[in-house]
Amino acid sequence: MHKPVEITVYGAEQICASCVHSPSSKDTYEWLQAALKRKYPNQPFSINYVDIFQPPEDKKKKEYARKIIEEDLVYPVITIEDHWVAEGNPHLKKICSEMEKYGYRSQ
């Protein structure tokens, strides 16, 4: 593994209209953070939450937030190293598969 990957969870306080019975974006962020820490202990990564209606000044994050809103995508949207990995209710297996491309190994 070269450097810790950056995982970003894009979402909003309000649950997506298409995801009425799914967890909130913030709940998904917290669940994903805990699950990945258990799956990849002692393998550092950063995970951040971005509110799509109040994104940070980072140009790339603002652009992703704008795209999610304009294209009416199902959120949360999860990226790893700015690569779109999941939309809506994410599957841990798909996220882990992407992390393993960066050298992470399940323990």
Angle at CA of residue 69, ends 64 and 75, nearest 5°: 80
Domain that holds residue 18: 6-100
- Tens-digit pLDDT profile for residues 39-67: 999 999 999 999 999 999 999 999 999 99
Identity at 69, one-letter amino acid code: I
- For residues 24 and 8, give the distance between their C-alpha atoms in angstroms, rounded to a whole number: 15
Does residue 39 belong to any structural domain of this protein? yes
pLDDT at 74: 86
- Tens-digit pLDDT profile for residues 58-100: 999 999 999 999 998 888 999 999 999 999 889 999 999 999 9
Does residue 106 belong to any structural domain of this protein? no
**Residue 33 maps to which CATH number?**
3.40.30.30
Does residue 107 belong to any structural domain of this protein? no
Residue 42, Cβ density class (10 Å: 0-12 exposed, 13-18 middle, ≥19 buried): exposed
Does residue 34 belong to any structural domain of this protein? yes
**What phi and psi, each to the nearest 5 degrees, are found at residue 78?**
-115, 130
Among 75, 99, 79, 102, residue whose Cα is nearest residue 89: 75
Does residue 105 belong to any structural domain of this protein? no
Does residue 79 belong to any structural domain of this protein? yes
Whether this model's pTM surpasses 0.85: yes
Q: Is-contact 79 90, C-beta < 8 A?
A: no
Count of domains observed in the chain: 1
